[in-house]
Amino acid sequence: MRIDFSPSAASARDFYRLLTAVVVPRPIAWVSSISPDGVDNLAPHSFFTVASTNPPIVQFTSVGEKDSLRNITASGEFVVNLAPARLLEEINATGTNFPPEVSEFDAVGLAREPSVTVRAPRVKESPAVLECRLHSVLPMGDSTLVFGEVTHAAVSDSALDGSHPRIDLLEPLARLGLDEWGILGDIRDLSRIRLKDWPGHFRRAP
């Protein structure tokens, strides 16, 4: 048996809580930006994905108008820092609604690292960063989709296997429902089945 839920019969807040409990796990864009007054901002956004591969464009969603959105639309740039499990408490703390004149870097005690192609600083403790130039913004209901073209990427050599980032060394965090966070569990390698290799039937591998 299933229980039905309708957006028209629930409050926006309640349906938001349902959506974020079933659209899981969600990767986190730990976004750093600079305000017009020169204050560094750092905030986690858990609606985050790749929007295009060529050109390389990533996308995150600002629910409401937050400092990240205001800074990015003013400066035209930002950095997505990978959110590693070992920094769970710091990442959560940067979600505090500090006033715009307070830098989360300083409030939480995180180190800045200069970027190569943008003014916004990188989080030194993050194992991977994507420097981005603002491509476009798209208002959507009570939210705004932010698209950034990746102008530079950097990954810690301790998280690389040759030139490829290793997921077990990056140890990315994920957001789940309510106040829940997730870390990596078992990792399985499973190649996509090419049509020429399709056996004519499907059976689950033992």
Q: What pTM did the predictor assign? A: 0.95
pLDDT digits (tens, 9 = 90+) for 88-102: 999 999 999 999 999
Mean pLDDT of the chain: 96
Interacting residues of 171 by C-beta distance below 8 A, sequence separation 6+: 84, 85, 86, 127, 183, 184
Interacting residues of 122 by C-beta distance below 8 A, sequence separation 6+: 32, 79, 81, 112, 113, 114, 115, 129, 131, 154
Residue indicated by tokens 């629910």: 63
pLDDT digits (tens, 9 = 90+) for 148-197: 999 999 999 999 999 999 999 999 999 999 999 999 999 999 999 999 99
CB 13 within 8 A of CB 25: no
Note the pLDDT of residue 205: 72
Greatest alpha-carbon pair distance for the chain in Å reads: 63
SS3 15: helix
